[in-house]
Each structure stands twice: as C-alpha cells, then as structure tokens.
C-alpha cells in the first residue's frame, strides 16, 4: 500500500472538500435549471441550454479567466460579495469550489433533465386533479420519480469536480493547503525533480475515485431508464 505524505493527504482532503461543497451547492440550481429546460417553454430556452453547457465546450482556462474577472477582488461580483458578505473567492478554496461547480454544472443538469423528461405527466396531473398544490406535486411526485437522475447527475458532477484543473488553477492558482487539489498537486509534482512518486500516487487516487463515481453513475442511470427490469 502506498505511503502518502502529509502534503498528499492534504491535497486529497481538499479535493474531497472542494468537490463536495461544489456539488452540494450546485444541486438546487441544477434541479431548477433542469426543470426549466425539461418543462419550460419560453423565449431563450435554447440560449439557456447552450449557456449551461458552455463550460464543456470552451477551454477551461477561458472559464477560469471569466471567473477571475467577475469574482476576483476587483470584479463586479467579487467586490460586492467581499464588501457586503465578507465572502472571498480569488486565491481561496472557496474559489476552487466555485470553479469546480461551474465546470461540473452541465454534467449535473443533463441526467436530471433526462429523468424529468421521462416522467409520466399523467401522474402529476392526477395529483393536481385531487387538489394537491404545484409545490406539493413537485415535492411528492416529480422529485421522487426523478431521484435516479438526480443521484446520477450528482455523482457525475462530483467526479468532474474532483478532476477539475484548468479553470481552478487560472482562477485561484496552486497554493498548497489552500487551493492545491489533487490535479494541481500532480502538476506541481511533475514540475519538481524527484516528484514522480508523489504524482503517481495521486494519479492512482484520482483514477480510483473517478472510476468509482462513473460506475455509480452508470448503475443509477440504468436504474432510471424505463424497462430497466428487463435490462441485462
């Protein structure tokens, strides 16, 4: 069993912290965005869909630069949050969580949207006919039926957040103990003479975590498909 140094344990713990916070905070927004895309009929729906998936298309460094411009200490959003809420993103672990959340958001939204689109609307209509208000229909019918997709999206987003590098290092740099996640630590080791062992150990951890998340997501996605009981 490989022996990890304190710095490597620190990078692993920080990655899990950043990915967890990024995914948990993104989840309500992801459900709302998926619901709008699955059920909404409004001007600009296609534009919203494209904007949500933009981080998958543009280079991560572009996303990181945009976050730096908007959420940096001198940025319009960053300056407001710091002066009014005391919340700082640039060169902090909170910024790493923000970058990870933005980059993983499309992978969170898509499975939830697909799950919502597969729901039999007659079940919701029946509940409404019986007098249930819209919020109760959503909480007791829609969300439970979409749960497999929600879980699949959550796991996929978590895996993506664990491996996020380009936007993170552009936005919050590579500060040990503060913003140095597993990918950033691997990069630092590759730039350090004799750092091959540390890079290999962290790479194996990264692969193991990603594979576990992807396998869990695949199982949940199969569970959410109609006719899954006949699936091999």
What pTM was estimated for this model as a whole?
A: 0.88
Task: Please tell me the predicted confidence (pLDDT) of residue 42.
Answer: 83
Cα–Cα distance for residue pair 131/54, rounded to 1 Å: 40
Q: What pLDDT does residue 221 have?
A: 64
CATH 3.30.465.10 fits 6-226, yes or no: no
At residue 232, the pLDDT reads: 41
Domain boundaries, the chain: 6-226
pLDDT of residue 214: 79
Q: What is the pLDDT of residue 25?
A: 96
| DSSP conformational letter for 5 | P
Cα(163)–Cα(167) distance, integer angstroms: 11
Q: What is the pLDDT of residues 141-162, one digit of tens each?
A: 999 889 888 988 999 899 999 9
CA torsion 66-68-167-88 (nearest 10°) is -130
Residue numbers of the chain with a pLDDT score lower than 70 = 1-2, 220-221, 223-232
Place of tokens 């909170």: 94
Residue pair 185/202 in contact (Cβ under 8 Å)? The answer is yes
Long-range pairs of 11-16 with CB within 8 A, sequence gap ≥ 24:
11/176, 11/180, 11/181, 11/182, 11/184, 11/185, 11/202, 12/182, 12/202, 12/205, 14/93, 14/96, 14/177, 14/179, 14/180, 14/181, 15/162, 15/181, 15/182, 15/183, 16/162
pLDDT for the residue numbered 227: 53
Give the SS3 label for residue 231: coil
Nearest to 52 by CA among 77, 70, 71, 29: 29
């Amino acid at each position: 069993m490989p022996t990890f140094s304190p710095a490597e344990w620190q990078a692993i713990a920080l990655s899990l912290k950043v990915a967890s916070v990024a995914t948990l905070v993104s989840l309500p927004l992801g459900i709302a965005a998926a619901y709008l895309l699955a059920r909404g009929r409004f001007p600009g729906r296609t534009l919203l869909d494209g904007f949500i998936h933009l981080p998958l298309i543009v280079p991560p460094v572009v996303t990181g630069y945009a976050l730096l411009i908007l959420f940096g200490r001198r940025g319009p959003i960053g300056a407001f949050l710091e002066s009014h809420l005391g919340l700082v993103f640039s060169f902090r672990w909170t910024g790493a969580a923000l970058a990870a959340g933005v980059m993983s958001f499309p992978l969170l939204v898509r499975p939830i949207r697909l799950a919502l689109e597969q729901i039999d609307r007659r079940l919701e209509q029946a509940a409404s006919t019986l007098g249930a208000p819209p919020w109760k229909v959503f909480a007791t019918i829609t969300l439970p039926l979409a749960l497999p997709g929600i879980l699949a999206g959550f796991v996929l987003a978590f895996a993506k957040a664990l491996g996020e590098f380009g936007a993170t290092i552009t936005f919050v740099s590579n500060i040990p103990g503060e913003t140095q996640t597993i990918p950033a630590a691997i990069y630092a080791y590759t730039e350090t003479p004799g750092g091959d062992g540390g890079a290999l150990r962290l790479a194996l951890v990264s692969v193991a975590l990603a594979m576990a998340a992807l396998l869990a997501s695949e199982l949940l996605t199969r569970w959410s498909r109609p006719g899954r009981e006949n699936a091999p």
